[in-house]
Chain A
């Protein structure tokens, strides 16, 4: 009888582990992977495809008319597209995600993000140099240009910059040989055409990314949710969960340090009282909105969908309810501090040099929790190499 019970119990345990579709109400790693892919990443990516196509249409209309109303519409579409892109930026996982390097990254990353949005690796001068060339006239021509001069960051400059001058130095060839000056009358048209070509490429890249996640064989979605069960990218479910978690640390290196710390003069990279010109959105002045989108994204990813699994559920399941509550509070505090900031970063810093400090501190507290207790409690391995203490 005892033997039969033991066999039945073991059989039940084995049956639970066969890696089939998981019960969405069980806080398992596999359930988290499915929730993340199906309820967060893919719907957001779908929205990016839709918004980037709308931006392409609006930019095309502006290039055709050069009217202020069409420009305003194109700018509005850029804002909407950028908002979605920022939500994906916060989820640095999969083909769009960063690979390992000084700035970090996650397993499975292929850095396709740079073709959509390359900040902080962007360069308005490179955009100006391409503006006087001919490659920008068509998407095919622009596709041969490096990421510094295309993507949503280049489009921001092209649509929002009000200057007729360029951002290159006087010794740059376009200024030294007079090319820019000779074409000055054509610049608005060239910039609008350029923006249209760049928007087309962004939309194409978003669709290609969607295909990689959904229709290619094997799709990245399947690679992710089948982690440890046939996935070539992730040997275990925990590896895939670690990859998503590692992507969340964008909040540390990019949001805390680059988007807030450097402009505020709090982080190395700015040795003045503050450096508002180092802000993310230099021309549309949407820097704070971008941070808000990043924080909303981390909120949604951390908590998962209402009918699925989030990191908080995993924490509760391993006895970390108190930690889950503290991370909840840290996310809420960061969102509150971001919501409290009204206006552009230059205006905020002009009024108060420490204006960004409360938000910086709140984000730091969140990233500290994620990098210490969260990593330990969930056994996150951001870098997959033999364990440190064997």
Chain B
């Protein structure tokens, strides 16, 4: 017991050692700039209207059904404010307040509609949480200029590295599947659609494609699995970072994945020594901030903060694994899919048509999701059973509001995963109006179809005379 206490105390003391806040500050600047870019991009691309203002129906997160969008002008104003807060975070102006307000606004926006869910938005919220909690404005900030530059406790960097490392490791674990490692799917499908790319496009065609997809799959898996480890070791850090620059750069070119590569690269900088910006500045002889090591950190890893931080990270380490409790293929049934860092793991599309009947109308009336959702929402909903259920409830409520009684809603939901033949995702005989959403295994979701994904057997053009 005393040995355990001693270990905890040693860990606590080491975590509280003051180190330079420069690397954390650089991360904060990058985070702020990404927050600014994210909000500005949403405004410039018209996404604020498209995603949150125009849709008549929003698909809610379980338990957050009460979260509704503001009016159009207020939503635009919110994004302008988020862009401004991003700049304030980057500049280190009232850093903690700016980060807290941005976190609340960003998380609110993410909670508005499940169809906008992206893993990297979750990561951005988590990183934002740490930007609020930790003294990220201790250096390279207007706050530091006003109050004086301070060191940070070493443990802050440990926590952030663990946060970033958890994403990589879980992303790697998510790739441990026959589709990814044996069949090279869905990478093969995606690469095949990029054969027109300059320079590398030729590799995505017959006869290279299957091998390139398979090699890229393994490379991606090993990259994610080893990144935290090799970034942590001093001897391999630079090389691993260079690999990550190439890896995230390549995914950015090949896939439309928004800011994710930049977020991960920003996070990866945290693995370098705490004073790397100062060293780099000295090497360039242009900029050399006064070292902050030795100044008193404004944050201490006391027993309670330590326990809370470790507990929070432990939850994050375990939560993504919950999908395994459901059995089957999470990419098919999607139970436990969200918040589990299954990044770029599936190519899935669905076709959904509801069948409604009510007292006095025994014949099925087909209802298209398009009557309620826009095409983007519909394409997201069609592969996710809980969203199919949610819309079924909405349709039932709509028909009840028209004065119908005894409303029953069934669904023809067909989906294709990684190019497998389409199969029913939801039991067509179950009245979804009577099914309640929840975390228990859903018996109304049908098992995934057997068989391998789309096999890449590129063939030269078939003889057209056969037509």
**Is B37's CB within 8 Å of the partner chain A?**
no
Q: Restricting to A40-56, which residues have a CB under 8 Å from any CB of B? A: none
Which residue of the partner chain, among A236, A273, A321, A390, contacts B258 with CB atoms under 8 Å? A390
- A317 and B344 in contact (CB under 8 A), knowing A28-B196, A100-B50, A253-B368? no
Closest to A272 in B: B361
By the criterion CB–CB under 8 Å, are B365 and A267 in contact?
yes
Q: Digit string of B448-467 for contact with A (CB within 8 Å is 1, else 0)?
A: 00000011111101101001
**Is B194's CB within 8 Å of the partner chain A?**
yes
Which residues does chain B contribute within 8 Å of A384, judged by CB atoms?
256
Q: Give Cα A47–Cα B190 distance, bound, in whole angstroms.
A: 37
Expressed in whole angstroms, the minimum distance between the Cβ of A213 and any Cβ of chain B is 22
- A17 and B197 in contact (CB under 8 A), knowing A265-B363, A316-B462, A372-B416? yes
By the criterion CB–CB under 8 Å, are A261 and B366 in contact?
yes
Q: Digit string of A299-342 for contact with B (CB within 8 Å is 1, else 0)?
A: 00001001101000100111111010000000000000000000
By the criterion CB–CB under 8 Å, are A376 and B419 in contact?
yes
By the criterion CB–CB under 8 Å, are A29 and B419 in contact?
no
Q: Restricting to B343-376, which residues have a CB under 8 Å from any CB of A? A: 343-351, 353, 356, 361, 363-368, 370-371, 373-376
Which residues does chain A contribute within 8 Å of B382, judged by CB atoms?
371
Which residues does chain B contribute within 8 Å of A323, judged by CB atoms?
421
Expressed in whole angstroms, the minimum distance between the Cβ of B174 and any Cβ of chain A is 10
Q: Restricting to B168-227, which residues have a CB under 8 Å from any CB of A? A: 186, 188-190, 192-203, 205-206, 209
By the criterion CB–CB under 8 Å, are B370 and A381 in contact?
no
By the criterion CB–CB under 8 Å, are A29 and B193 in contact?
yes
**Is A266's CB within 8 Å of the partner chain B?**
yes
Which residue of the partner chain, among B343, B418, B461, contacts A316 with CB atoms under 8 Å? B461
Pairs of residues from A and B, 3 with the lowest C-beta to C-beta distance, nearest first: A13-B202, A379-B193, A386-B258
Expressed in whole angstroms, the minimum distance between the Cβ of A311 and any Cβ of chain B is 12
By the criterion CB–CB under 8 Å, are A268 and B368 in contact?
yes
Q: Restricting to A58-103, which residues have a CB under 8 Å from any CB of B? A: 100-103
By the criterion CB–CB under 8 Å, are A371 and B457 in contact?
no
Expressed in whole angstroms, the minimum distance between the Cβ of A386 and any Cβ of chain B is 4
By the criterion CB–CB under 8 Å, are A386 and B256 in contact?
yes
Which residues does chain A contribute within 8 Å of B420, judged by CB atoms?
373
- Most B-side CB within 10 Å, residue of A265, A271, A321, A384: A271
The interface of chain A, by Cβ under 8 A from chain B, is: 12-14, 16-19, 25-30, 100-105, 228-229, 236-238, 241, 246, 252-253, 257, 261, 265-268, 271, 273, 303, 306-307, 309, 313, 316-321, 323, 364, 367-369, 371-373, 375-390
By the criterion CB–CB under 8 Å, are A388 and B118 in contact?
yes
Q: Give Cα A100–Cα B376 distance, bound, in whole angstroms.
A: 9
The interface of chain B, by Cβ under 8 A from chain A, is: 47, 50, 56, 117-120, 186, 188-190, 192-203, 205-206, 209, 255-258, 260, 342-351, 353, 356, 361, 363-368, 370-371, 373-376, 379-380, 382, 414-422, 454-459, 461-462, 464, 467
By the criterion CB–CB under 8 Å, are B370 and A372 in contact?
no
Closest to B197 in A: A17
By the criterion CB–CB under 8 Å, are A104 and B370 in contact?
yes
By the criterion CB–CB under 8 Å, are A18 and B189 in contact?
no
Closest to A266 in B: B366
Which residues does chain A contribute within 8 Å of B118, judged by CB atoms?
386, 388, 390
Which residues does chain B contribute within 8 Å of A28, judged by CB atoms?
195-196
Which residues does chain B contribute within 8 Å of A253, judged by CB atoms?
368, 370
Q: Give Cα A390–Cα B195 distance, bound, in whole angstroms.
A: 21
By the criterion CB–CB under 8 Å, are A389 and B422 in contact?
no
- A16 and B376 in contact (CB under 8 A), knowing A29-B193, A376-B454? no
Q: Is the interface of A mostly helix, strand, loop or mixed?
A: loop
Expressed in whole angstroms, the minimum distance between the Cβ of B404 and any Cβ of chain A is 9
Expressed in whole angstroms, the minimum distance between the Cβ of B245 and any Cβ of chain A is 18
Closest to B51 in A: A385
Which residues does chain A contribute within 8 Å of B415, judged by CB atoms?
372
Expressed in whole angstroms, the minimum distance between the Cβ of B181 and any Cβ of chain A is 17
By the criterion CB–CB under 8 Å, are B467 and A306 in contact?
yes
By the criterion CB–CB under 8 Å, are A228 and B459 in contact?
no
Which residues does chain A contribute within 8 Å of B365, judged by CB atoms?
265-268, 271
Q: Give Cα A102–Cα B54 distance, bound, in whole angstroms.
A: 10
Which residues does chain A contribute within 8 Å of B350, judged by CB atoms?
371-372
By the criterion CB–CB under 8 Å, are A320 and B454 in contact?
yes
By the criterion CB–CB under 8 Å, are B380 and A388 in contact?
yes
Q: Give Cα A221–Cα B415 distance, bound, in whole angstroms.
A: 34
Known: A17-B196, A27-B461; 11 extra A-B contacts, CB below 8 A, are A13-B202, A28-B195, A267-B367, A306-B464, A319-B456, A320-B454, A321-B457, A383-B375, A386-B258, A389-B342, A390-B344
- Most A-side CB within 10 Å, residue of B56, B202, B458: B202
Q: Give Cα A14–Cα B139 distance, bound, in whole angstroms.
A: 47
By the criterion CB–CB under 8 Å, are B467 and A303 in contact?
yes
By the criterion CB–CB under 8 Å, are A237 and B196 in contact?
yes
Q: Give Cα A241–Cα B414 distance, bound, in whole angstroms.
A: 23
- A389 and B419 in contact (CB under 8 A), knowing A13-B203, A268-B366? no
Closest to A388 in B: B380
Q: Give Cα A266–Cα B198 distance, bound, in whole angstroms.
A: 48
Expressed in whole angstroms, the minimum distance between the Cβ of A237 and any Cβ of chain B is 4
Expressed in whole angstroms, the minimum distance between the Cβ of A239 and any Cβ of chain B is 9
Q: Give Cα A105–Cα B379 distance, bound, in whole angstroms.
A: 13
- A373 and B416 in contact (CB under 8 A), knowing A261-B366, A319-B458, A390-B344? yes
Q: Give Cα A286–Cα B376 distance, bound, in whole angstroms.
A: 33
Which residue of the partner chain, among A29, A267, A273, A376, contacts B195 with CB atoms under 8 Å? A29
- A102 and B371 in contact (CB under 8 A), knowing A376-B349, A376-B416? yes
Identify 30 residue pairs between A and B in the complex whose beta-carbon atoms are under 8 Å apart, listed by A's number.
A17-B201, A29-B195, A30-B196, A102-B371, A103-B370, A104-B375, A236-B196, A238-B193, A266-B366, A267-B367, A317-B206, A318-B188, A318-B458, A321-B457, A372-B350, A373-B420, A373-B422, A377-B416, A379-B190, A379-B193, A380-B349, A387-B255, A387-B256, A389-B342, A389-B346, A390-B119, A390-B120, A390-B258, A390-B260, A390-B344
Which residues does chain A contribute within 8 Å of B461, judged by CB atoms?
25-27, 309, 313, 316-317
Which residues does chain A contribute within 8 Å of B375, judged by CB atoms?
100, 104-105, 246, 382-383
Q: Give Cα A379–Cα B190 distance, bound, in whole angstroms.
A: 6
Which residues does chain B contribute within 8 Å of A19, judged by CB atoms?
196, 198
Q: Give Cα A257–Cα B455 distance, bound, in whole angstroms.
A: 33
Expressed in whole angstroms, the minimum distance between the Cβ of B255 and any Cβ of chain A is 6
Which residue of the partner chain, among A319, A387, A390, contacts B457 with CB atoms under 8 Å? A319
Closest to A322 in B: B421
Closest to A27 in B: B461
Expressed in whole angstroms, the minimum distance between the Cβ of A8 and any Cβ of chain B is 13
By the criterion CB–CB under 8 Å, are B374 and A100 in contact?
yes
Q: Give Cα A101–Cα B370 distance, bound, in whole angstroms.
A: 9
Which residues does chain A contribute within 8 Å of B459, judged by CB atoms?
316-317, 319, 321
- Most A-side CB within 10 Å, residue of B198, B199, B201: B201
Expressed in whole angstroms, the minimum distance between the Cβ of A236 and any Cβ of chain B is 7
Which residues does chain A contribute within 8 Å of B373, judged by CB atoms?
102
- Most A-side CB within 10 Å, residue of B345, B346, B415, B416: B416
Which residues does chain A contribute within 8 Å of B370, judged by CB atoms?
102-104, 253, 257
By the criterion CB–CB under 8 Å, are A16 and B202 in contact?
yes
- A268 and B257 in contact (CB under 8 A), knowing A317-B458, A318-B189, A372-B349? no
Expressed in whole angstroms, the minimum distance between the Cβ of B49 and any Cβ of chain A is 11
Expressed in whole angstroms, the minimum distance between the Cβ of B338 and any Cβ of chain A is 10
Q: Give Cα A30–Cα B420 distance, bound, in whole angstroms.
A: 26
- A271 and B361 in contact (CB under 8 A), knowing A368-B351, A368-B414? yes
By the criterion CB–CB under 8 Å, are A385 and B348 in contact?
no
- Most B-side CB within 10 Å, residue of A25, A104, A378, A386: A386
Expressed in whole angstroms, the minimum distance between the Cβ of A260 and any Cβ of chain B is 10
Q: Give Cα A237–Cα B467 distance, bound, in whole angstroms.
A: 26
